[in-house]
Amino acid sequence: MNPIASSNPDCGFLLPHESLMPSINAPNLELIRRALAATAFDDQPADSMQAAVALVLAGEPSDLHLCLIRRAEHELDPWSGHMALPGGRVDPGDTNPRTAAVRETSEEVGLRLERSTHLGSLGTRPVTSAGGPTGVSLFSFVFHLGETLEPLVPSDEVAEAFWVPLRHLLDARNAAYRRATRDGQIREQPAVTYQGHLIWGLTYRVLTTFFERLELQIARPE
């Protein structure tokens, strides 16, 4: 494996050796709809210790894309500069976590999910940071916005926003390791590269669950 340059000597990412891979068949909209149908109404009342993200799909039914963002750099944000899904903490005015995901997506990238189809939920998972558990539960909701890749309008909280093809996230040629030094030990975490950025950590785990529901496997280094 060859290291890829990083501005931080204690943090970088590694690409596995190249391998010959067959063409990637991305999941189509009908497959996703069937896989998530039983969870379309999986929600609960809002709580201050909740957060929610939106997996927003758009594009041709056989060539779907997913909205991802790169968070803006903020000194106090433990996920500063990370690739992520649109979303955030549930506010007191939110009816439930799904309405929080809809609101946050509108605020962060300008997409109005009120016009979308809610396909289902991926359940909940604990949110952790480098310091350990945060006590926050994350809800993940899947939406289909339509066949048009609408313009993404990043807010001040977002450095960049992307429409990423699902087939890119499944292609093992895009798999990588994120390498970081913590407590004097080098740790490697699976990731996917996109336009020079790493999709890893919590977002990678949410996407892993999404593809597992479809009986597929996210790109993973061997």
Q: What six digits make up the tokens of 198?
A: 């790493």
pLDDT of residue 8: 37
pTM to 2 decimal places: 0.85
pLDDT tens for residues 76-99?
766 678 999 999 999 999 999 999
Longest dimension (CA), the chain: 51
Percent of the chain with pLDDT over 70: 83
**46, pLDDT greater than 60:** yes
Contacts of residue 6, defined as CB under 8 A and 6 or more positions apart, other chains included, come to: 12, 13
| Helix, strand or coil, per DSSP, at residue 88 | strand
109 to 60, 87, 161: CA distances (angstroms): 20, 10, 7
Helix ranges, 115-200 (H): 166-170
Average pLDDT score over residue span 202-216? 96
**15, pLDDT greater than 60:** no
78 to 62, 72, 170: CA distances (angstroms): 36, 11, 27
pLDDT tens for residues 117-166?
999 999 888 887 666 777 889 999 999 999 999 999 999 999 999 999 99
pLDDT of residue 143: 97
Percent of the chain with pLDDT over 90: 65
Helix ranges, the chain (H): 29-36, 97-109, 166-170, 201-213
pLDDT of residue 3: 30
**Residue ranges of domains in the chain, CATH in brackets:** 2-19+27-213 (3.90.79.10)
CB atoms within 10 A of CB 153: 12
